[in-house]
Amino acid sequence: MAINWFKYSAPTTFYGLAGRLVPWFAVPAALLFALGLYIGFFVAPVDAVQGEAYRIIFIHVPASILSMFLYLIMAGYAALGLIFNTRLSSMMATALAPTGALFAFISLWTGALWGKPMWGAWWVWDARLTSELILLFLYFGFIALHASIDDARRADRAAALLAIVGSVNVPIIYFSVKWWNTLHQGSTIKFTGTSMHVAMQQAMFVTLLACWMYAVAVTLLRVRSIILERERNTQWVSELKEAGL
């Protein structure tokens, strides 16, 4: 049996697939958030050093991880669009940018609210914090550059270059706590294991999964609108039968 691997790389077929996939990510996201926060607030013990304030970790770390991974995925899609000239890849990159930016914002916001009681400062120009702020600006730059060019295909190419060049920032964020002396604490979870209480690890892992599911669901919803907007002149959109059309 021959499988057409490119079937879902066409906006026409992906539009329907994305719509069917959304509930499969949205519902687990809600359930996992509930479970993760339950473990994080009711099962995980108080931290010996940071008291109850450490519970910010259950959103701060997942949001930070997502802000970096979503950027790499966005840059990857943008690169695919640039190399193979595939419309859907570029649409996916455009759909990922706002969600990535929001996770970068949540990372910075929760970091400030965590930094104030622990370090005595909302913000310091530390390597980790500064490189994460640059990540947020890269998302803004991608969104603004794409929006500023009227021709969608040209916008895709220009924004793709920005995304690809900017991806050098992601390893800088990740390794910043190793490369420089920073106020930010090192990685809690390391490849060699962790000193974290098992319930804290579980809570963080579950909220991380929840954030993933949320990001996928909201990106699929957004890309459907982008597909409709950009393909509105095509035959298949004009013949599309759907609620609201």
Partner 1 sequence: MGVRIEGGGAVSIAEFFNMGGYAFYVWGSYGVTVLVFVVEILMVKHKRKSALQQVRLMREAGE
Write down the least CB distance from residue 214 to partner 1, Å: 7
Q: Which is nearer to partner 1, 89 or 110 (CB)?
A: 110
- With contacts defined by CB under 8 A, name the span among 66-74, 141-149, 154-162, 237-245 that binds partner 1: 237-245
What residues does 47 pair with on adjacent strands?
51
The closest alpha carbon to 223, from 38, 17, 57, 6, belongs to: 17
The single residue among 18, 25, 36, 44 that binds partner 1, judged by CB under 8 A, is 44
Tokens of 210: 């929840």
Q: Least distance from C-beta 209 to partner 1, angstroms? A: 15
Judged by DSSP in three states, 188 sits in coil
The amino acid at residue 213 is: M
Of 109, 140, 179, 236, which one interacts with partner 1 (CB under 8 A)?
109
Please check whether residue 91 is in contact with residue 230, taking contact to mean a CB–CB distance below 8 angstroms: yes
124 secondary structure, DSSP code: -
For residue 80, how far is the Cα from the chain centroid?
Answer: 18
Binding site for partner 1 (CB under 8 A): 37, 41-46, 51-53, 55-56, 59-60, 63, 98-99, 102, 105-106, 109-110, 113-114, 116-117, 199, 214, 218, 221-222, 224-226, 228-229, 232-233, 237-238, 240, 244-245
